[in-house]
Amino acid sequence: MMIPELQTERLIMRGPCAGDFEPFAKMMADPDVARYIAPAPMERPDAWRALSSAIGHWVLRGYGAWSVIRKTDGAFLGRVGMINPEGWPGLEIGWTLDKPYWGRGYATEAAAAAMRYAFLTQPVDRLISNIDPENKASQSVALRLGETKAERSSLRIGGKDYPVDIWAITRATWRSQAV
């Protein structure tokens, strides 16, 4: 499957590949980065399965998460994109960036590109972001994307339930905010 490449002012969003494993495993092993992701932090075998799942998501669903690369130096910043495994409450725009890249607007920039792509290519009326109730940084990204806090839910991962607040944006709201 050919994974589309997206570009923003500062970022290249490309399909995940085997070469992303080392920086991805390092990122997911950081307790601060993985604090709100299950299982957290990830050991290398769990990171391998997560990266393999991200690649497989493109094959099974026709969409997925991109590896986010900084244009200026080729640094792997993290992953951002569409997530919707079996049992998920809807098509999610999700983001995880490595700690050195926090607070620079990269998550919002990449997630906005993913959201645009999702609304232009997927037949959905609403996109969501599943955010841990304690994850204030991701809540701020959701607000910048135009999402609003909706219902409380839980995600079942590895036989365990994790509480999340669902942040959502409708196609109509997105369209009215799009420039």
Q: Using the predicted structure, report yes or no on whether residue 33 has a pLDDT greater than 60.
A: yes
CATH 3.40.630.30 is held by the domain 6-177:
yes
Instruction: Give residue 131's region: left, alpha or beta (phi > 0; psi -120 to 50).
Output: beta
pLDDT for the residue 21:
97
Ordered by start, the domain boundaries in the chain are: 6-177
pTM for the predicted model, two decimal places: 0.95
Summarised one tens digit per residue, pLDDT across range 119-153 is 999 999 999 999 999 999 999 999 999 999 999 99
The alpha carbons of the chain give a radius of gyration, in whole angstroms, of 15
Enclosing H/E stretch for 95: strand 92-97
101: Cβ contacts below 8 Å, ≥ 6 apart: 70, 75, 77, 78
Provide the pLDDT confidence category of residue 103 given band limits of 50, 70 and 90: very high
The answer to whether the beta carbons of residues 135 and 97 sit under 8 Å apart is no
Task: Report which residue type is found at 83.
Answer: I
Q: Above 80 in pLDDT, residue 179?
A: no
- Residue length of the chain: 179
- Residue 40's pLDDT band (boundaries 50, 70, 90)? confident
DSSP state of 100: G
Using DSSP, state whether 10 is helix, strand or coil: coil
| pLDDT at 118 exceeding the cut of 90 | yes
Write the DSSP string, 41-83: SPPHHHHHHHHHHHHHHHHHHS--EEEEEETTT--EEEEEEEE
